[in-house]
Amino acid sequence: MGAAGSTTPIVGVVPNFSEGRRADVIDGICEALAVPGARLVYRQADAEHHRLDTTVLGSADAVRRSALAGAAVAVARIDLREHRGAHPRMGAVDVVPFMPVRRVGMPEVVELARAVGADLAETLALPVYLYGEAATTSGRRSLADVRRGGYEGLRDAVAAGERLPDLGPHELGPAGAVAVGARMPLIAFNVYLDGSDPDAADAIARAIRESGGGLPAVRAIGFAVPERDMVTVSMNLVDHATTGVRTAFDAVVELAAARGLTVRDSEIVGLVPAAALADEDAAHVRLRGFEPDTQILERLLEEDP
């Protein structure tokens, strides 16, 4: 990238949608995300998780328009009352985190996230929960706390007058609710183990995450993946310089062995900074399905979106 291009401010948005099986819906969402000025740089549809992960890079205005366009398709096409998948979820457009990528500060990203939250509440009548750096209350900084109980649990809580959204209607319809946030780039890292006991995976996740006294800068949940006859420990590594993929993987291997479980492989969902994954790390953590040309962030910044 030339000197002029390298000064262009870039914001990222990483919308996750509760659809990983219907190709027409997946394609419709991805087509909607690709608005002028925004570049869809990553998409992964996972049938087991029944989830679509995407990443869009562009100007603040472009990624705002992209997120709203993708959400509109999801709300029109996805019914949470019929949705069953391994991954926790609370909405058709489940989570919309914005992140600073280049020459953009966190205060600007927080302002953008809150503005998009207001747009989603007004234009799509979605209950909106602000989380991460965009949270307006300390109890909603954690996505896990916001999404606790999933669609069904949150729907019932709101109906009872509890856990009310920050914006939008106080009722969850077929499209559920959405969490809109601001955060630094993180690594979504899943480790798969033999077995069908979700409690074992959950125990490992509780032991490994920072909030349980485990590894710093790690958030984790454990659940079953019946389609693979496995369980997974699904982690967000929020600061890879503090705890990287290799350290997290080795900790899961050790905890799994203590429970008689074997780690089979791992995956990175979305983008990863080049410094977070050395060549030897990929083999060590038994990484599958990783595409360096489309998943290493720096390679995607070689051209302006």
- What would the DSSP string read from start to end of 97-137? EEEEEES--HHHHHHHHHHHHHHHHHHH---EEEEETT-SS
Residue 1: predicted pLDDT: 30
Cβ neighbours of residue 11 closer than 8 Å, sequence gap 6 or more: 57, 58, 59, 60, 63, 98, 99, 100, 101, 104, 108, 109, 112
Q: State the DSSP code for 21.
A: S
Per-residue model confidence as pLDDT tens for the chain (305 residues): 333 446 789 999 999 999 999 999 999 999 999 999 999 999 999 998 899 999 999 999 999 999 999 999 999 999 999 999 988 999 999 999 999 999 999 999 999 999 999 999 999 999 999 999 999 999 999 998 999 999 999 999 999 999 999 999 999 999 999 999 999 989 999 999 998 889 999 999 999 999 999 999 999 999 998 888 999 999 999 989 899 999 999 999 999 999 999 999 999 998 998 889 988 899 999 999 999 988 998 888 866 54
What is the CA angle 41-142-256, rounded to 5? 80
| CB distance 267 to 53 below 8 Å | no
Residue 232: predicted pLDDT: 95
Residue 119 Cα distances to 5, 64, 249, angstroms: 30, 9, 39
Catalytic residue ranges: 87
Residue 304: predicted pLDDT: 53
Coil, strand or helix at 189: strand
What residue ranges define each of the domains in the chain, with the CATH number in brackets? 5-182 (3.30.990.10), 187-300 (3.30.70.670)
Q: Residue 304 is encoded by which pair of tokens?
A: 């302006």
CA distance 1 to 273: 17
Residue 7: predicted pLDDT: 75
Residue 298: predicted pLDDT: 84
Task: Scan for tokens 């649990």, then name that residue.
Answer: 153
CA distance 304 to 39: 9
Rg of the chain's alpha carbons, rounded to an integer?
18
Task: Scan for tokens 């089979």, then name that residue.
Answer: 264
